[in-house]
Structure 1
Amino acid sequence: MNVIDLFAGAGGLSEGFKRQGFNIVSHVEMDKSACLTLKTRESYHYLKDQGKLDIYKKYITKKITREELYGFIPEDILKKVINESISDETIEDIFKSIGHEDIDIIIGGPPCQAYSLVGRSRDPNRMKNDPRNYLYRQYIKFIERYNPKLFIFENVTGILSAQKGRIFKNIKDEMKKVGYNLDYEILNASDFGVLQNRKRVILIGWKEDIDFSYPNFKKIETRWTINELFYDLPKIQSGESIEVGEYSNKGNELLSEIKVRDADWDILTQHTARRNNERDLNIYRYCVEIWNKERRRVGYDELPEKWITHNNLKSFLDRFKVVDGLGVSHTLVAHISKDGHHYIHPDINQNRSLTVREAARIQSFPDDYYFETCRTDAFRQIGNAVPPLMAEKIAYKIKETFIE
């Protein structure tokens, strides 16, 4: 079945669908770095299918350039990635670039900043004038153009309350008008085996003449922890980086089960930690100590006075958060690209924020996934992504319906 991935980001949704045998015809994404990530991932899949994965390994170990890597890939594979912002001005050109009329499924979700509760709380106009509120209308134009059997629309839970619920009501009304039945649920990635509490609205629409109902997803009881997820990663300090290196241990059952690291994968990349100043490192250590002793997170107003630099001691007090090493992580968001204060490593001896590879693992991206082009871009892409493991289980249920 042919799939278009809109607002594709780093490709978490399409990775899950590809694992279940769906054919990703196009990824449409406005961010240049994310598009390079998508092209690199398409290169990985092509070379793996051709039995030439050694070429991909040469690239991620910096033995050949990106241009040299792409030189091994057929042009039609790379052209699947369309680097374009979706608007009234660009949409017809995007249709031409897709160049494929037989589309079965459309997946993706418009950027969520305009719907997020944090975004609204920080904006004096509560995002009312943000044009991203209405990107869903571009999504609907793709539905009208390709008339897919089914579509999956993913977004943050804040979309349900944006503008007192009017936005989500309009989305549903307009989708129904073009001939689709709809249903949605708030799904948590942790119920799909992802080691992260990450709630998202997953809306599914299907053509009125198709016998379909919203899947019943069996919840997976997580028996693993973040410490086990990081089990084989070398211990590093703030500012240290292993761009290309070796694991400190063989993999474990968890890494194999959630498809993060195959037994034969032996190249560690992007295990890169940002450098923190001394004050932040003192705060990190203090927060981890309290977490270990009391299993609670420290409010900003509780910090020793010498470490407090912000005047606001009444709101946004959860500036520093320790990732729970003995459980699952709290939600990873794109803000991790700005600083790591919300993602403090649970090991007090490492005393730092998460690396790119650790963040990718929390999102269930496999270790052979390479994020372009720099650490900041990689963190942003990871924070915005749909976990591939969750996407795969959704894709499996969709496939099950159509096979039957």
Structure 2
Amino acid sequence: MGEQLPVISLFSGAGGLDLAVERADADLLAPADEGSGLLRVAVATDYDDQALDTLRDNFDRAATLSGDIRTIATDQILGTAGLRPSEPVLVVGGPPCTPFSKSGFWLEQKRESRDPNASLLDEYVRVVRESRPEAFVLENVQGLTYSTHKHQFERLLRSLGELGYNPQWKVLLAADYGVPQLRRRVFVVGRRDGQRFEFPEPTHSGRSERDRTIDTTKIPHVTAGEAFRGLPASLRVTEDEIVDGRYGELAAEVPPGQNYLWHTDRYGGRNEFEWRSRYWTFLLRLDPARPSTTLQAQPGPWVGPFHWENIRTNDGLERARRLRVSEMLRLMSFPDNFRIAGSRADVQRQLGNAVPLELGKAVIKALMTQLGYVNEHAPVLIASG
């Protein structure tokens, strides 16, 4: 095998894109297969030390750099990776999505797109400009493409275009690429040679909140029930898994695939809520026959998705339960042995902000194929740096 191609990872978080980089040439839905080693993460950066602990636990060959990207020079990033400008084959990363997500959208400064963290997009452009990778992959929440953030998004595309990278963007549904989750993310991809990047065609098809037509020529969406297959059926219930408190009893009565609307006058539960008076995820239960809804990073105490099966507390009460770490890993198509630092809530925060592995793999493999490093019909290394 030739020398692995180096990649710079910005805003690395739990390492979803980093996993996709190092397994980009692996087969679809084969998380145990680490690929042929085409790419390697040369340096991973983040301001969250806990996320860097996660990265160090899982990427022992990658150097890490801690700090605010706004205060870290590109030369320092390159130096930590042992690289010079134009040597990185890729720059990848997802600037923190809080400014562009629906969460906290009630804040006036977010509605008006004045969140200061939006400037992190400019920092991403700065690293691309100064490190001159062969290509880049930027991902974010779909909200970045909304009209509310039109100014920031257009400035991002214009800035990358002025560097000659001809950026292309598209919102992709994770379930369409083998991830058991109805999660939409926007990807922006560009090539230094200015050639147009073509996004990968979906491999899977199924019903989503927007799509009612199913392409029968494709693989059916992976369901939550299929994703959890093989996990231990009975584990000791921990206190932080129990959905209790004010709405604990109501949550336990919600059937699989339903939410708080079950407890309105239109369904079979109690008439406790007004129709469409809450967010869709309030008291939401997974449906084992469908992919999960988006795994949220920082949900409130009664925000799902919760597991479809109830548990009994030590007092004999029937309650819904939150997802376990092993289940969240499966919903993100991460390998079972992936280690994440911190408590269960810390794990959900890191995974909820991450890129699902199979979705990232699809994009990066398509890019490496179009750059000529991967044979489209035989995913093996055919060139090296």
Q: TM tier, shorter chain?
A: 0.7 to 0.9
Kept in 1, the 8 Å contact 2:260–2:284? The answer is: yes
Local SS of the residue matching 1:26: strand
Q: What's the offset of the Cα at 1:127?
A: 5.6
Letter in 2 for 1:363: M
The partner residue of 1:109 within 45, 70, 94 is 94
What CA distance in whole angstroms lies between the structure 2 residues aligned with 1:218 and 1:164? 27
Q: Is residue 2:385 matched to residue 1:385?
A: no
Letter in 1 for 2:11: F
- Any unmatched runs of 5+ in structure 2? 26-37, 205-218, 313-319, 376-385
TM-score between both structures, scaled by the size of structure 2: 0.77
Kept in 1, the 8 Å contact 2:180–2:221? The answer is: no
Letter in 2 for 1:29: D
The partner residue of 2:304 within 315, 330, 342 is 342
What CA distance in whole angstroms lies between the structure 1 residues aligned with 2:245 and 2:150? 44
1:226 counterpart residue number: 224
2:140 counterpart residue number: 155
Q: What's the offset of the Cα at 1:123?
A: 0.8
The partner residue of 2:242 within 275, 296, 307 is 275
Kept in 2, the 8 Å contact 1:34–1:372? The answer is: yes
Q: What's the offset of the Cα at 1:280?
A: 3.9
1:240 counterpart residue number: 237
1:319 counterpart residue number: 282
Deviations 1:349-372 (A, max 9, x none): 573111121111101111110100
Local SS of the residue matching 1:87: helix
What CA distance in whole angstroms lies between the structure 2 residues aligned with 1:124 and 1:299? 28
Instruction: Name the stretch that deviates more: 355-364 or 222-231.
Output: 222-231
Deviations 1:131-170 (A, max 9, x none): 1111111001111111111111101111112535111111
TM-score between both structures, scaled by the size of structure 1: 0.74
> Root-mean-square deviation (CA), in Å?
2.7
Kept in 2, the 8 Å contact 1:107–1:152? The answer is: yes
What CA distance in whole angstroms lies between the structure 1 residues aligned with 2:92 and 2:71? 20
**CA distance 1:383–1:340, change in 2 (3 Å):** farther
What CA distance in whole angstroms lies between the structure 1 residues aligned with 2:99 and 2:242? 30
Kept in 1, the 8 Å contact 2:20–2:360? The answer is: yes
Letter in 2 for 1:26: V
Q: Is residue 2:81 matched to residue 1:98?
A: yes
Q: What's the offset of the Cα at 1:183?
A: 1.0
Letter in 2 for 1:235: A
**CA distance 1:179–1:378, change in 2 (3 Å):** same
Letter in 1 for 2:121: Y
The partner residue of 1:5 within 6, 9, 13 is 9
- Any unmatched runs of 5+ in structure 1? 44-76, 242-271
Larger helix percent: 1
**CA distance 1:145–1:340, change in 2 (3 Å):** farther
The partner residue of 2:252 within 274, 285, 288 is 285
